[in-house]
Chain A
Amino acid sequence: MLPAILVAFIASFPILLPMMGNISKVGILIFSSAFCSILGRELLNDTEDKDVDRGYKKTLSSLGILSDRTIHKISALLIFISAIALSVIIPTGITGIFLILSVMVLILSALIIYKDEGTRGKMVFDIGIFLVLITLAL
């Protein structure tokens, strides 16, 4: 679990880089959202690679601590939390509409993952997170 947390922290950290010394509340929310979603995706990846990782990496799936079903549920929950964190900062105007649509895609991916369809859920999640980033960058 610790490597996945570290990867999620390092991967979501760049968002705070330009704000160093002046971190806003919105920045922290987006950082938390990125952290939760990346952690959820990492856990999903671990379930897919569990047979290969056995004896090489110590993950929740490869060690058999949690079942794939439980990990899928945790991932779905993390992605859902990430979507909620994003929905708090939805601005007004056209950007707001795009962000709502992107957040809906993220929630859809969480639902698909919850139904135990990890690979398809991951694909929808990737589309969702890409849309979120494009919208926030505009």
Chain B
Amino acid sequence: MKMLKCLAASVVVGCMALAGASAQEGLKDEIRQPTLDMLKGKKVVFVPMSMSFDLPEGWAAVMQKDAERRGYQLDIRDANWSTDTGTRAITQAITEKPDIIVVQNFDVTSYARTLKKAQDQGIKVVQVNMRSSYQTDAFVGADWHGIGEYAANRMLEVCGKDKGKSGKIAIVQGPATAAASVYQLNAITATLKDNPNIEIVSSQTGDWDQSKARGIAQTVIQQNPDLCGIIGFWDVMDAGTGAAIQESGKDIYLITSGGGNKTACQGVENGTFDEVISYDVPGQGRDLISTISILLQSDKDAGEEKFVLYTPNKIITKDSLGPESCWDLDVLKG
């Protein structure tokens, strides 16, 4: 492949040179080659929670393509849903001294010390979507606080007592200490605090597990027949929540959030979800490769500069649903 590309590039350059010779000379891009040289041969290790679901697969697809294009190496170390395995993967990676480690945290504490260790060793660390309480060189991902705020406000509009509804809502969280849960819950409670129109009747942890979420939703609906809305913290898990709602036959407004995979759009289309707040994985992927590119070009040491890129959210509802609303992994990979 590389050979071919080089060949193609040289042919193009040759043609251009010929064309240039016949026409004007033009200006050479002076920083292109140095930039490409900076990226070439670098090593990036990606430690996702698991390679078995849409978000990491999407990011990995985008990064992989970029890595091939720019000539850096991307290693994926699957934590396989285990904090311990993930920690092992990161500590192992540290001993290999890559240039960048990209991690998706399980929760806000577990990796914190390990990530600090990585930075101390001069390895730049990018956290994606799920933050740790320890801020590293970069964070790329959803603005959980903003998502929580939005969802809470929507609930006020849809379920508020002042709108003639019961005002009862439930929350299906991820694991209690996951960034998505911690920051979102904080935003929701802050928004709804002291608001007499809404009452949170249940807030439980579904641990990103579809069947667990389904069980929680079933129980909550039974206990609160007049439940008006549910805020779920992840669309894949909330497929279970939605199923429980459909089983109950009640009209319960379900807002969830996710990477905007095509299943999310299907869910909105068939009524499983009423609203999906999408943090747009292809967009996050783009942010990721930009961040990688920036960090590789930067001559600052690890931990010297810290920045955050929050993904702009897309709201997917039946009304806003369009062919470009969601993404497809196969297309992303291709």
Whether A and B are associated in the same complex: the answer reads: no
Q: Which residues from chain B sit less than 8 Å from chain A, CB to CB?
A: none
Q: Which residues from chain A sit less than 8 Å from chain B, CB to CB?
A: none
